[in-house]
């Protein structure tokens, strides 16, 4: 029988997430899933969960959750100053929680999104193979079909802890998110339609993350690109794609993005670099540099193999 963790403080945007929902993009259903796949992957790995186990993505905090029965949890991602019954917890680590234990997070001190996994994963009903919450589509979430962020007093079902040790991610895998970003871009799609000077402008300048960025897209502000090509016949778009509307200010699509779109695209950011962008706060500095698809795919393959390991249920 599942136990239910009680949400005592939901925070501004706490979402049940996993590796996302595939196979339905032709119906207009976006992929969704945890935005920082590195941090989310580690949270599950520290508990020997499957890579696709559902966990919580906590945007900014604060957040508090009480566990009625003993279990293990893991915390990664943004540094939220996690505490268990008032005692500070090591980040990027798994921890034992006693029956009745209260887990609390403050406001993120760097980065944007903290991740909390529980042994065995959160057991909300999956929709089309995934528990990912996409708010805009009203999919996923606590009952699978409301697609809402968590609210105070929500009851989150979690599995039995099969028992296991406690671990910490090696130092080289722990991340802090305050440094400016250099995102690698694979030129593709309409890259050739942008003028030479627009491309130089794009790679030559430093952008700032705009405040109206969200899980659908990170909006960047800088010197407007000149001579942006006109809109095209709509075609499929996916997370990582850099589209440029007439304003000349690029938008990097994130995991809740629409499935098709009509803005011209410069190319796509390396999937492994999107993990960093997912943690970039408004005002964060971002540059782009040209990369290659071969490298981008190799890095993604390496990351996915690493997290899936021998444990996965796929």
For residue 259, state whether it binds another protein (rule: CB under 8 A): yes
In terms of CB distance, is 128 or 173 closer to another protein? 128
Instruction: Please select the residue that binds another protein; options are 4, 62, 300, 306, rule is CB under 8 A.
Output: 300
In sign, the C-alpha dihedral spanning 140, 145, 150, 153 is: negative
Q: Is residue 145 a contact residue for another protein (CB under 8 A)?
A: yes
How far apart are the C-alpha atoms of 305 and 257, rounded to whole Å? 25
Which range of residues in 3-11, 159-167, 210-218, 253-261 is near another protein by CB under 8 A? 253-261
Q: Closest CB to another protein among 26 and 196?
A: 26
Residue 185's nearest CA partner among 177, 194, 173 is 194
Considering only the stretches 48-56, 165-173, 281-289, 295-303, report the one whose residues sit in contact with another protein under the rule CB under 8 A: 295-303
Task: Please give the Cα distance from 251 to 220 (Å, whole number).
Answer: 6
Tell me the HSE value of 290 on the side-chain side, using a 13 A CA sphere.
Answer: 10
Q: Does the protein bind another protein through residue 193 (CB under 8 A)?
A: no
**Quick one: which of 127, 169, 209, 244 contacts another protein (CB under 8 A)?**
127
Longest dimension (CA), the chain: 62
Judged by beta carbon, residue 22 or residue 151, the one nearer another protein is 22
**Site mask, another protein, residues 20-59, x = CB under 8 A?**
--xxxxxxxx------------------------------
Binding letters toward another protein, positions 78-117, x by CB under 8 A: ----------------------------------------
The verdict on 301 binding another protein (CB under 8 A) reads yes
70 binds another protein (CB under 8 A): no
Element (H, E) at 277: helix 271-277
Q: Note whether 148 binds another protein by CB under 8 A.
A: no
Say if CB 226 and CB 215 are below 8 A apart.
Answer: no
Whole-angstrom CA distances from 278 to 52, 71, 111, 273, 289 are 19, 29, 8, 9, 18
> How far apart, in whole angstroms, are the C-alpha atoms of residue 187 and residue 211?
26
Q: What angle do CA 6, 62, 18 make, to 5 degrees?
A: 65
Question: Tell me, what DSSP letter sits at residue 19?
Answer: S
- Tell me how far, at minimum, the Cβ of 69 lies from another protein, in Å: 30
Give me the residues that bind another protein (CB under 8 A), please: 22-29, 127-128, 136-139, 145, 186, 188-189, 233-236, 238-241, 258-261, 268, 270-271, 293-294, 296-297, 300-301, 304-305, 308
């Amino acid at each position: 029988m599942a136990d239910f963790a009680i949400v005592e403080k939901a925070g501004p945007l706490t979402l049940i997430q996993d590796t996302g929902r595939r196979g339905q993009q032709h119906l207009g259903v976006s992929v969704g899933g945890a935005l920082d796949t590195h941090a989310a992957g580690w949270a599950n790995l520290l508990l020997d969960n499957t890579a696709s186990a559902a966990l919580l993505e906590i945007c900014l905090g604060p957040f508090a959750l009480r566990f009625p029965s003993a279990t293990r949890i893991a915390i990664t991602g943004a540094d939220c100053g996690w505490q268990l019954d008032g005692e500070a917890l090591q980040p990027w680590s798994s921890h034992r929680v006693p029956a009745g234990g209260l887990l609390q997070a403050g406001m993120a001190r760097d980065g944007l999104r903290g991740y909390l996994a529980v042994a065995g994963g959160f057991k909300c009903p999956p929709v089309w193979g995934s528990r990912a919450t996409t708010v805009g589509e009203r999919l996923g979430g606590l009952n699978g079909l409301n697609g809402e962020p968590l609210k105070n007093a929500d009851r989150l079902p979690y599995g039995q802890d099969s028992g296991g040790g406690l671990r910490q991610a090696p130092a080289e895998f722990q991340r802090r998110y305050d440094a400016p970003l250099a995102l690698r871009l694979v030129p593709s799609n309409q890259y050739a339609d942008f003028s030479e000077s627009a491309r130089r402008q794009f790679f030559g300048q430093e952008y700032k993350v705009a405040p109206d960025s969200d899980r659908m897209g990170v909006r960047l502000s800088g010197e407007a690109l000149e001579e942006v090509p006109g809109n095209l016949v709509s075609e499929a778009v996916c997370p990582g794609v850099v589209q440029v509307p007439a304003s000349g200010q690029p938008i990097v699509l994130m995991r809740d993005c629409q499935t098709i779109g009509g803005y011209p695209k410069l190319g796509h950011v390396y999937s492994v670099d999107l993990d960093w962008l997912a943690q970039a706060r408004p005002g964060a500095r971002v540059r782009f540099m040209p990369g290659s698809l071969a490298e981008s795919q190799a890095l993604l393959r390496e990351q996915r193999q690493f997290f899936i390991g021998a444990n996965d249920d796929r």
